[in-house]
């Protein structure tokens, strides 16, 4: 395979992978998929192209940070959500993505299918891992959609100065920033001894974020559906 065809294949795989990430994230937050298929396609195309350029061309360690920022901006521009809600969606989405990616990587190493060096530098291994990642994101999105799992927040509660300054939003911000920093360190770190500890830290922060989001979401549902006791029917 020529270098040109190899790079083109990597770009396509990256676009498909990040499109599946957008689908998974939208499903987590119960954002309708069918009505937003064009937005999903546009976000996947933009994030995939930017991600490919930053990671495969520039080889930048800031790949993860750029993707979080890019996805947040796209949500603000395309979905017109408040910035705090965009950050919440983006960081929880990438937290879930990191866990999916990590499970795939650890499974590969556990089954002796690929070494860390192969996962980082081998072309065929990279393609296989990206395909597996795409499949896992779509599978997770299907499970969430089938069982109607996810969050359903009132978006306007994330806009306005008074709303942003509420204590629960500061808790969210601290959890999300901690998760983003741990994930970034996990990705750029070359010290394998710390990877397990970092992964545990990411899982704890992610679990705390999900639990806190669940509790806040329960309050929202009670306000939205007072007659059903907070059950989204």
Tokens of 208: 């705390």
Which DSSP letter does residue 99 get?
H
pLDDT on residue 44 = 97
Q: Which residues touch 196 (CB under 8 Å, ≥6 apart)?
A: none
Residues 104-115 have a mean pLDDT of 86
Surface-to-core class of residue 2, CB atoms within 10 Å of its CB (0-12 exposed, 13-18 middle, 19+ buried):
exposed
pLDDT over 60 at 116, yes or no: yes
The model's pTM: 0.79
Q: Contact at 8 Å (CB) between 198 and 189?
A: yes
Q: Which residues touch 41 (CB under 8 Å, ≥6 apart)?
A: 19
Which DSSP letter does residue 227 get?
G
Residues 168-183 have a mean pLDDT of 63
């Amino acid at each position: 395979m020529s270098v040109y065809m190899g790079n083109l294949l990597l770009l396509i795989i990256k676009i498909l992978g990040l499109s599946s990430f957008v689908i998974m994230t939208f499903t987590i937050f119960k954002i309708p998929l069918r009505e937003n298929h064009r937005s999903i396609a546009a976000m996947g195309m933009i994030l995939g192209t930017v991600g490919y350029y930053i990671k495969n061309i520039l080889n930048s360690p800031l790949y993860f940070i750029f993707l979080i920022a890019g996805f947040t901006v796209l949500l603000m521009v395309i979905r017109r959500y408040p910035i705090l809600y965009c950050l919440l969606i983006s960081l929880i989405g990438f937290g879930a993505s990191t866990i999916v990616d990590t499970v795939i990587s650890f499974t590969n190493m556990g089954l002796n299918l690929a070494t860390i060096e192969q996962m980082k530098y081998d072309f065929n291994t990279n393609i296989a891992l990206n395909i597996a990642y795409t499949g896992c994101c779509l599978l997770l999105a299907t499970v969430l959609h089938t069982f109607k799992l996810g969050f359903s927040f009132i978006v306007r509660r994330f806009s306005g100065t008074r709303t942003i300054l509420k204590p629960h939003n500061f808790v969210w911000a601290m959890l999300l920033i901690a998760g983003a920093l741990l994930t970034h360190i996990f990705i750029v770190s070359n010290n394998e001894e710390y990877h397990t500890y970092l992964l545990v830290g990411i899982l704890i922060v992610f679990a705390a974020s999900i639990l806190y989001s669940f509790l806040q979401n329960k309050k929202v549902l009670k306000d939205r559906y007072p007659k059903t006791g907070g059950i989204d029917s």
